[in-house]
């Protein structure tokens, strides 16, 4: 029930404003809501429509000039805010053959999910990790990282970072790594490693889904789904971001599910559609879509399909505020 304005109150509010103060009762129902009401919109990016823009960025700017050549996927409900959800940033990064994006570190943590091309690598604190489609790579906060492409084809990946979360706390720091020894490709010397807590290659992850599908019934909401976990600690992959891989059997029609963590999905294999609130998106490999907080999400698959997803669930859970409506 809105509080009726009158001249005396309005005059009081005006005097309060001169003291940098405001009446709570005028805003209480906006700032302490009965349930989540978000500006984040359900949204969808078809990879085939974005690919020409990625190629154009490759012609217009070098990786060297750009620091990182990335097209930010910006939520249409948060225009100009460089984010896909309130807490997470996502973007499509391109590295062309022969390019090297030099080493830096920042307090924001990152994940990469490789979409297209092979032959590039990401180095994290001196470990060089090769990248191919479906591989999932981490860059935890304040770790030096660079990207290089000594191969022969453009490589594109989905970046996910907690930049808005870090900036909400006003804790952003960034620095470039000082020049040091370089190898013949112009990249910092780093050792190739294939086994690392920083990398979750696609093949074993995909095999795990197949094994789970063979050994048990699919969940009515998620199909067959696992969360990537740090193999040494058993914790979510980052304190601020969790990530999942799920398989939807051919013909799957999932029941709706909602939770408070707005979730970014990337289709990996197969075709299907997802209904988020009152919108339905038909997707295929490499398409990306986002579900806002507390919106019912249901997936359907016409072929056997695989979806990658990530959200700020670990951050919400560590604060004790995460909620689901199963
Ligand atoms: Fe970075």
pLDDT band at 184 (very low <50, low <70, confident <90, very high): very low
User: 228 CA to middle of ligand 1, Å?
Assistant: 21
User: 18 CA to middle of ligand 1, Å?
Assistant: 42
User: 69 CA to middle of ligand 1, Å?
Assistant: 11
User: 110 CA to middle of ligand 1, Å?
Assistant: 7
User: 150 CA to middle of ligand 1, Å?
Assistant: 19
Instruction: Look at residue 71 in the predicted model and tell me its pLDDT.
Output: 98
User: 105 CA to middle of ligand 1, Å?
Assistant: 6
User: 96 CA to middle of ligand 1, Å?
Assistant: 17
User: 66 CA to middle of ligand 1, Å?
Assistant: 12
Question: How would you label 164-180 residue by residue, b for 16+ Cβ within 10 Å and e otherwise?
Answer: bbbeeeeeeeeeeeeee
User: 145 CA to middle of ligand 1, Å?
Assistant: 7
Give the pLDDT mean for 59-78: 95
User: 128 CA to middle of ligand 1, Å?
Assistant: 15
User: 68 CA to middle of ligand 1, Å?
Assistant: 7
User: 166 CA to middle of ligand 1, Å?
Assistant: 14
User: 77 CA to middle of ligand 1, Å?
Assistant: 25
Instruction: Look at residue 183 in the predicted model and tell me its pLDDT.
Output: 53
Q: Which range has the worst mean pLDDT, 86-95, 183-192, 195-204, 272-281?
A: 183-192
User: Using one digit for the tens of pLDDT, what is the confidence trace for 149-165?
Assistant: 999 999 999 999 999 99
- CA angle, 261 as apex, 259 and 263 as ends, to 5°? 105
Phi, psi of 44 (to 5 degrees): -145, 135
Map the chain to HEC letters: CCCCCCHHHHHHHHHHHCCCCCCHHHCHHHHCCCCCCCCCCCEEECHHHHHHHHHHHHHHCCHHHHCCCEEECCCHHHCCCCCCCCCCEEEEEEECCCCEEEEEEECCCEEEEEEECCCEEEEECCEEEEECCCCEEEECCCCCEEEECCCCCCEEEEEEECHHHHHHCCCCCEEECCCCCECCCCCECCEECCCCCCEECHHHHHHHHHHHHHHCCCECCCEEEEECECCCCCCECCCCCEEEEEEECCCCECCCEEECCCEEEEEEECCEEEEECCEEEEECCCCEEEECCCCCEEEEECCCEEEEEEECHHHHHHHCCCCEEC
Give the pLDDT mean for 85-91: 98
**Paired strand residues for 123:** 128, 146
What does the radius of gyration of the chain's CA atoms come to, in whole angstroms?
22
User: 109 CA to middle of ligand 1, Å?
Assistant: 8
User: 206 CA to middle of ligand 1, Å?
Assistant: 27
User: 284 CA to middle of ligand 1, Å?
Assistant: 28
pLDDT band at 37 (very low <50, low <70, confident <90, very high): very high
User: Using one digit for the tens of pLDDT, what is the confidence trace for 213-224?
Assistant: 999 889 999 999
Q: What global pTM score does this model have?
A: 0.95
The distance of Cα 245 from the centroid of its chain, to the nearest Å, equals 13
User: 122 CA to middle of ligand 1, Å?
Assistant: 10
User: 317 CA to middle of ligand 1, Å?
Assistant: 26
User: 106 CA to middle of ligand 1, Å?
Assistant: 7
User: 104 CA to middle of ligand 1, Å?
Assistant: 6
User: 196 CA to middle of ligand 1, Å?
Assistant: 19
Q: Percent of the chain, pLDDT > 90?
A: 90
User: 283 CA to middle of ligand 1, Å?
Assistant: 29
User: 70 CA to middle of ligand 1, Å?
Assistant: 11
Instruction: Look at residue 179 in the predicted model and tell me its pLDDT.
Output: 66
Give the pLDDT mean for 183-206: 78
């Amino acid at each position: 029930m809105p509080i009726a304005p009158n001249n005396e109150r309005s005059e009081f509010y005006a005097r309060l404003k001169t003291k940098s103060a405001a009446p709570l009762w005028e805003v209480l129902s906006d700032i302490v809501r009965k349930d989540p009401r978000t500006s984040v919109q359900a949204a969808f990016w078809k990879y085939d429509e974005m690919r020409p823009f990625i190629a154009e960025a490759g012609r217009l700017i070098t990786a060297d000039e750009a620091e990182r050549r990335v097209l930010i996927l910006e939520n249409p409900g948060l225009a100009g805010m460089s984010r896909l959800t309130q807490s997470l940033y996502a973007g499509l990064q391109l590295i062309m053959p022969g390019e090297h994006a030099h080493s830096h570190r920042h307090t924001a943590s990152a994940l990469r999910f490789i979409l297209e091309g092979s032959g590039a690598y990401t180095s994290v604190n001196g470990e060089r990790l090769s990248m191919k489609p479906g591989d999932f790579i981490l860059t935890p906060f304040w770790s030096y990282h660079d990207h290089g492409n000594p191969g022969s084809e453009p490589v594109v990946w989905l970046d996910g970072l907690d930049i808005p979360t870090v900036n909400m706390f006003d804790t952003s720091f960034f620095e470039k790594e000082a020049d040091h020894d370089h190898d013949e490709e112009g990249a910092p010397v780093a050792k190739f490693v294939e086994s690392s807590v920083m990398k979750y290659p696609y093949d074993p992850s995909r095999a795990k889904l197949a094994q789970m599908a063979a050994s048990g019934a699919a969940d009515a909401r998620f199909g067959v789904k696992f969360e990537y976990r740090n193999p040494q600690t058993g914790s979510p992959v980052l304190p601020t971001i969790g990530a999942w891989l799920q398989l939807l059997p051919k013909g799957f029609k999932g029941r709706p599910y909602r939770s408070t963590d707005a979730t970014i999905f990337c289709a990996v294999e197969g075709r299907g559609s997802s209904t988020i609130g009152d919108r339905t998106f038909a997707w295929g490999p490499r398409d990306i879509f986002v579900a806002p907080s507390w919106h019912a999400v249901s997936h359907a698959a016409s072929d056997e399909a695989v979806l990658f997803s990530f959200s700020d669930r670990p951050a919400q859970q560590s604060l004790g505020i995460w909620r689901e409506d199963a």
